[in-house]
Structure 1
Amino acid sequence: MKVSIFSNNGPSSQKVATALKDGLTAAQVTLDSLDPDIVVTVGGDGTLLSAFHHYNDRLDKIRFVGIHTGHLGFYTDWRDYEVRELIKSLVNDNGQSVSYPLLTIQVEYADGTHPDQALALNESTIKKVSGTMVADVYIKGEFFESFRGDGLCISTPTGSTAYNKSVGGAVLNPQFNAVQMAEIASINNLVFRTLGSPLIIPADEWIRIEPTNAADNVLMCDQLSIEGRPIKAISYRIARQRIAFAEYRHTHFWQRVEASFIGREQP
């Protein structure tokens, strides 16, 4: 088995990464950042998102494990003081895993340049740089609504707990292979009308968004952004690929939600 250690630059994360490297070397586990079987991220959810995009061309070959060195992470199951326990799990690995859906994004440009494709673990948002964004929304190729407002957020089930939740979207269990769209400050009055609530579509359907004005839009894909290019349309659907986590003690989804947002003291 080959392991890659993917850490942020914080001093606490670097300390943990060094201890993990030394421990894995002593246990005769091969360290390989180019062709790993398992990627161990050290930091938080942002670090894991960076690792996901770094290795997104190898998702069918690798599994992820997250160590958090700060506040509780949604994707990180291990604490910074549990390096020895994690090394034991890696040494005794038997290939167990749990996988989550991803979002595939295709961007068409009004200037006719080649479309871009991307994957998102959490979400993608489309907003206008300034003023109101106006866009037509299509579901499975059929016109659904004309949107006016600050923007739209399209998320995966695991990403439903991120920006989607902050704009009023539903929290969706990743056992559902579905895409969610939530409106960001939509305008609803006697003249303009949208659904006004989140919608969830299954894996065999897709969402297409066509901004009325191709210029001055900002498209986000997790932490990555596309701006300064005239966007003709963006299409979203559940990806063929999935992200896999090594299931040594992978925390149940609703336990993650409770720990991250409610945090009740255990009796």
Structure 2
Amino acid sequence: MADRRNMYFYTRSDQETLQHLNGLKDLARKYNFNILDSPDKANIIVSVGGDGTFLQAVRKTGFREDCLYAGISSTGSLSMYCDFQLDDQQKMIQAMLAEEIEIRRYPTIEVKVNDQTSFYCLNEFSLRSGIIKTFVIDVFIDDIHFETFRGDGMLIATPTGSTAYNKSVNGSVVDPMLPCIQVSELASLNNNRYRTLGSSFILSGQRSLSLQVVQDGNDYPTMGMDNEALSIQHVQDIQIGLSGKVIKTVKLKDNSFWEKVKRTFL
């Protein structure tokens, strides 16, 4: 971190977290970091909260590729995106002195709706019925029709997002060193008329995925981008693929992705 000195804190707004913020800023200043009130000129962005706060920090600061993101947990335990605990200042000091630090690069996906609105996701993109009714989606891979889905929706996850919503719908946990996306079904209906693969599948980062919503009255679906909802009327075509953007985060030498998976789930 020697060449990175401009730091911005993105925090949860609860009173307990805010009470610790001044102490974190004082610690950073002690090691000659400049604390900024805006992320625009920051080259280190620190989230204080949980994984949800980290996702919001990345989204609200524009998925910056020219800075380093770090997560500090205020929940009492480490998580997939938070390498530090709020009450463990020793590890933070070591990181500031660049003694135990490596850089981890997380892939992101790009989603384009109706060939107009475009946005990025670090964890996952979800498409779900906006009403109490299943809906139909034609699924294309590289412009080739793959299947016609009917059910509650579909979920497209990055490798790091594979441990989140994706895992809860029986998707696979994927090593983030693999440039790929994972597609999982949400309550698919399989009968003589509709037939889907029935399991999640993984696409190379070189492939493109297109979801075409059949307009049968359910053309106002709920779309989730990480932990935010997006509402667009008359959704017809959604193009999804691995983007060229990567999010650089702090990686402690004793805290790899698979060590996090073991700690969290085993």
Aligned match of 1:259: 263
Equivalent position of 1:82 in the other structure: 88
Q: In structure 2, which of residues 109, 112, 118 is the aligned counterpart of residue 106 of structure 1?
A: 112
For structure 1, which runs of at least 5 residues remain unmatched after alignment? 110-114, 263-267
- Matches of 1:94 and 1:107, distance apart in 2: 41
Q: Is 1:20–1:87's contact at 8 Å kept on the other side of the alignment?
A: no
- Name the residue aligned to 2:172: 170
Partner of 1:112: none
| Counterpart Cα distance in 2 of 1:43 and 1:56 | 19
Q: Deviations over 1:31-78 (max 9, x none)?
A: 123211111111100110010001225x22111111101143211011
Identity of aligned residues (%): 28
Provide the C-alpha distance between the structure 1 equivalents of 2:80 and 2:100, rounded to a whole number of angstroms: 24
Give the match's secondary structure for 1:19: helix
* Paired position in structure 1 for 2:28: 24
Asked whether the 8 Å contact 2:67–2:248 carries over to 1, the reply is yes
Q: What SS does the corresponding residue of 2:91 show, helix, strand or coil?
A: helix
Distance in 2, matches of 1:250 and 1:16, equals 26
Q: Which amino acid aligns with 1:6?
A: Y
Letter in 2 for 1:12: E
Q: TM-score, normalised by structure 2?
A: 0.90
How many equivalent residue pairs?
A: 256
Unaligned runs of 5+ in 2: none
Deviates more, 1:91-100 or 1:72-81: 91-100
Q: Kindly provide the amino acid, as one letter, of the partner of residue 116 in structure 1.
A: T
Stretch moving more, 176-185 or 23-32: 23-32
Deviation of 1:191 (Å): 2.4
Structure 1 counterpart of 2:151, which letter? G
Query: Distance in 2 between the 1:249 and 1:65 partners?
Result: 14
What amino acid does structure 2 have at the position aligned with 1:241? K
1:88 CA displacement: 4.2
> Cα–Cα, structure 1 residues 91 and 34, in superposed 2: closer, same or farther, change >3 Å?
farther
User: One-letter code of the match for 2:256?
Assistant: H
Instruction: Measure, in 1, the Cα distance between the counterparts of 2:44 and 2:166.
Output: 29
Shift of 1:26: 2.8
- Retained in 1: the 8 A contact 2:101–2:252? no
Q: Which moved more, 1:46-55 or 1:85-94?
A: 85-94
1:212 corresponds to: 214
SS of aligned partner of 1:225:
strand
- The answer on whether the counterparts of 2:83 and 2:250 sit within 8 Å (CA) in structure 1 is no
Q: CA deviation at 1:151?
A: 0.3
Shift of 1:15: 2.7
Q: Which residue of 2 aligns with 1:148?
A: 150
Read off the aligned partner of 1:43 and give its amino acid letter. G
Cα offset for 1:250? 6.5
Q: 1:41 aligns with which of 33, 36, 47?
A: 47
2:122 maps to 1:117: no
Matched AA of 2:125: S
- The worse-fitting range, judged by mean Cα deviation, of 60-69 and 226-235 is 226-235
Provide the residue aligned with 1:63 in structure 2: 68
Query: For the residues of structure 2 that align with 1:151 and 1:211, how far apart are their CA atoms?
Result: 10
Q: For the aligned residues, what is the CA RMSD?
A: 1.8
Superposition TM-score, scaled by structure 1 size: 0.90
- C-alpha deviation, 1:91, in angstroms: 4.2
Q: Is structure 2 residue 237 aligned with structure 1 residue 236?
A: no
Spell out, residue by residue over 1:183-219, the C-alpha distance to the aligned partner (whole angstroms, 9 max, x if none): 0000012222101010100011011000002622111
Structure 2 residue matching 1:129: 3-state secondary structure: coil
